[in-house]
């Protein structure tokens, strides 16, 4: 910790969550009870995991997944908010973002299952009839309950981490902190500016497997950023490597030229979901939809041994840059 000349002190806290770590960097008056803030943050992310983790057998999400069809199931307010948002992004992205893929996530080896299915079993899984969550679920948001029309297993990996970042921000807001940068494994949200008047800066990684290198820096003020890519989590089946993001249309891992998509939005939950949706849409339809919706996004497109970066700000194409 170091004391700023204007009287605010820099605090840095972190801890484990969602198979990764959360971080909180903020400025507040000297003498703040950092232990109390750390406890609030730990409780915040623990609650998100308890509600939305597919890895915890007794989570609210797994309780919902195990529930029989046609029975009303009460869920926490936060979980209902995430599911409702997921369904809205699914509709707005023309089905590119989909949470009714839990069986596919397990089958391809990206869930708690010990290993992926063999290719013949995966082909059979992909042939099975399935319904998007928007058709498979009936929601009563005001009563915080829902029921399943048919067999469906939900997976919130494409949105829950972003929501967790928003909850970290909410915890700091409640503590009266007005300048911070919080994040979980690269999904970040900022409020205010540093005491020296500078905005927060976050790194955008090169889409490299097995190593972490900075591709560039972005400034962030009263906004959130999330990145989805094909380079972080992969699984090998029959000698072939597959990315962890699934295409709901095919039931298989993505096969397009997008290496990563970063989205800046008002909340990290939205940035997280939209980064996944645009990645699924690919190098042509992704930028097109981002422009239609007036979004802020960075697309990194694989072009042989090089990358091509496409910047869209406020729905307007800003630049296309070829990089090595």
pLDDT digits 0-9 by tens, 285-315: 999 999 999 999 999 998 877 889 999 999 9
DSSP state, residue 143: G
* 185-194, 252-261, 268-277: the lowest-pLDDT one: 252-261
Looking at residue 2, what is its pLDDT? 38
What pLDDT, in 10s, does the model give residues 148-164?
A: 998 899 999 999 999 99
- pLDDT given for residue 323 in this prediction: 66
- What is the rounded CA–CA span in Å between residue 221 and residue 65? 37
Task: For residue 61, give Cα distances in angstroms to 88, 114, 153.
Answer: 19, 20, 9
Top pLDDT among 68 and 115 is at 68
For the cut 60, the answer to whether the pLDDT of residue 4 exceeds it is no
**215, 204 contact by CB (below 8 A):** yes
Contacts of 38 (CB under 8 A, 6+ apart): 13, 15
- Residue 44 above 80 pLDDT? yes
Lowest-confidence pick of 1-5, 47-51, 283-287: 1-5
Please tell me the predicted confidence (pLDDT) of residue 6.
60
**Other CB atoms within 10 A of residue 210 CB:** 7
Mean pLDDT calculated for residue range 129-155: 94
Q: Nearest to residue 262, comparing CAs of 253, 272, 252?
A: 272
Mean pLDDT, rounded, for 50-59:
94
180-184 and 187-191 beta bridge pairing: antiparallel
Confidence check: pLDDT of 189 > 60:
yes
Stretch among 41-50, 108-117, 240-249 having the lowest mean pLDDT:
108-117
Q: What is the mean pLDDT of residues 95-119?
A: 88
Assign a CATH topology to domain 56-148: T-fold (1.10.3980)
Q: What is the residue-averaged pLDDT of the chain? A: 91
The SS3 assignment for 63 reads helix
Q: How confident is the model at residue 322 (pLDDT cuts 50, 70, 90)?
A: low
Looking at residue 52, its pLDDT comes to 97
The pLDDT assigned to 3 comes to 39
pLDDT at 84 over 50: yes
pLDDT recorded at residue 114: 65
């Amino acid at each position: 910790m170091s004391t700023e000349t204007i009287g605010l002190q820099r605090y840095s806290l972190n801890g484990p969550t969602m198979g990764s770590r959360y971080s909180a960097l903020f400025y507040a008056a000297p003498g703040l009870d950092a232990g109390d803030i750390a406890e609030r943050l730990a409780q915040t992310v623990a609650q998100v995991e308890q509600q939305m983790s597919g890895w915890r057998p007794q989570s609210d999400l797994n309780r919902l997944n195990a529930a029989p069809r046609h029975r009303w199931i009460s869920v926490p307010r936060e979980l209902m908010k995430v599911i409702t948002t997921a369904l809205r992004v699914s509709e707005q992205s023309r089905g590119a973002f989909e949470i009714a893929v839990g069986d596919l996530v397990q089958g391809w080896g990206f869930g708690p299952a010990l290993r992926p299915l063999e290719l013949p079993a995966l082909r059979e899984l992909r042939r099975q009839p399935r319904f998007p969550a928007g058709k498979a679920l009936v929601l009563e948001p005001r009563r915080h309950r829902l029921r399943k029309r048919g067999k469906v297993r939900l997976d919130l990996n494409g949105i829950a981490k972003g929501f967790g970042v928003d909850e970290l921000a909410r915890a700091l807001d409640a503590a009266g902190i007005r300048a911070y940068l919080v994040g979980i494994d690269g999904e970040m949200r900022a409020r205010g500016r540093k005491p020296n008047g500078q905005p927060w800066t976050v790194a955008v990684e090169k889409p490299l497997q097995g190593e972490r290198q900075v591709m560039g820096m972005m400034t962030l003020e009263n906004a959130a950023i999330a990145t989805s890519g094909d380079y972080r989590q992969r699984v090998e089946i029959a000698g072939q490597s597959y990315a962890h993001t699934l295409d709901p249309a095919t039931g298989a891992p993505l096969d397009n030229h997008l290496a990563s998509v970063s989205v800046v939005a008002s909340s990290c939950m939205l940035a997280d979901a939209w980064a996944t949706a645009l990645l699924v849409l690919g190098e042509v339809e992704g930028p097109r939809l981002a422009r239609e919706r007036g979004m802020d996004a960075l697309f990194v497109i694989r072009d042989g041994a090089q990358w091509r970066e496409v910047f869209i700000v406020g729905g307007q194409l800003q630049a296309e840059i070829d990089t090595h």
